[in-house]
Amino acid sequence: MMSIQDQLCAYLVGATKQQFLEDVWTYEKGEGGGRTRVWEEVESDVLEKGGVNFSSISGPELPPAALASMPASLSKSEFRTTGVSVVIHPHSPIVPTIHLNVRYFEAGDLKNNDVQVWWFGGGIDLTPTYPQFSQVVQFHQTLKGIVEKHDQDYGKYKRQCDEYFYLAHRKECRGIGGIFFDHLNSGQPKRQLWEFVQSVGLSLIQLYDPFLKRQSEPYSEQQRQFQLWRRGRYVEFNLLWDRGTKFGIQSNGRTESILMSLPKTATWKYSHTPEKGSAEANLINFYLKPQDWVNLKDQDEDQLLQKANQ
C-alpha cells in the first residue's frame, strides 16, 4: 500500500510541480500509524487542496461502524486495516475532483494468527463541475478495461458506486460515478484479488491525467462560484453518509487525516436553481444521474442533454 501512495504522489508532483507536506503519525488507540501527504494552495497552484493518505492500524476491538456488517461473534475481536485514500480538489472548476480508496481489513484472534474474516475494498470516482461529455465517456471506458483485465465485474461495481455516492437528502449523485466494491474476498485467490486492488489504486494516473492537462484552460468567476456551491454537496456527503469517515471517527482514528477529504473552500446558497439549459443545469439534470456511459457516443450528447432539460 505504501508503494501505491509513493507512485501516486510522484505523479501528482510531476504533473502539477507542487510539493506535498508530509505528516507521519502514530495510532494512539492501538498499534500502527500512517503517512499523510497534503497539498494546500497558494494562488498559483493547480491543486487547491489534496491529500494522499496511507494508514496501517490495528486495535483490540472493532468500532461500531464495522460491527454493522460483521457477525455478532466478532464483536470483541481484534482488527487490522491498511489502505490508501486520495482526494484531489483542483483550483480550476474545469478540472474535476477525484477520489480513490483501496483498503484491506481483517479481524479475529490476530495475536494467534486466527483471521476469521478478511476483505478488500476500494474504488475510484469523479466529481466534475463542468464535465466534457467525451471525457466522461472515455473515463468510464478506460476504467471498464482496467476492471475487466482482472476478470472483475465492471457493471456491478459501477452500480454499487452510483448507489453508494448518493446524497439521499438531496436526491442526487455526488458525481458521474466510477466503481465501488467492498467485502471482496471470494471468486479468486487472495493474491489475484490484491493484484486487482493494486491496479485500481494506480489507475488514478491513467484516468486523471487527461483532466489534469486542462488545468490551464480559462474560466470565469461565475464558474468558480458554481464550483464552490457544488463543493458544498461534497462536504455534505462526506460528513453525513460516508462509511469510511464514520469508521475513522468511531475507531478513534486521526481526525486530521480522516477529514483531509474536505475541500479548502465551499459555499451554500439557499434553494439555488441554475438557469434552464445552462451548463450548470446540464450537470444537475443529466450528468449527476446514472448513465450507461460506456455505451454512449459523442453524437448522443445533444439529444440526451435536450431530453434531460425538458
C-alpha cell at 119: 476483505
d(CA 106, CA 78) in angstroms, rounded, equals 9
Q: Who wins on pLDDT, 253 or 198?
A: 198
Give the per-residue pLDDT at 247: 77
Residue 24, in any domain of the structure: yes
C-alpha cell at 310: 425538458
CATH code of the domain in which 180 resides: 3.40.1500.10
Give the per-residue pLDDT at 112: 84
C-alpha cell at 25: 503519525
Domain that holds residue 114: 2-267
In the structure, what pLDDT confidence band is assigned to residue 183 with cuts at 50, 70 and 90? very high
Q: Is 37 exposed, middle or buried (0-12, 13-18, 19+ CB in 10 A)?
A: buried
Residue 286, in any domain of the structure: no
pLDDT digits (tens, 9 = 90+) for 200-218: 999 999 999 999 999 999 9
Look up residue 283 and give its DSSP letter. I
d(CA 137, CA 115) in angstroms, rounded, equals 41
Residue 81, in any domain of the structure: yes
Residues noted as catalytic: 99
Residue 148, in any domain of the structure: yes
Give the per-residue pLDDT at 43: 65
Q: What is the mean pLDDT of residues 79-96?
A: 95
* Count of the separate structural domains present in the chain: 1
Q: What is the mean pLDDT of residues 111-129?
A: 92
Residue 206, in any domain of the structure: yes
Flag whether pLDDT at 44 surpasses 70. no
Residue 298, in any domain of the structure: no
30 vs 27, 62, 78, 79, 80, CA distance in Å?
6, 11, 10, 10, 10
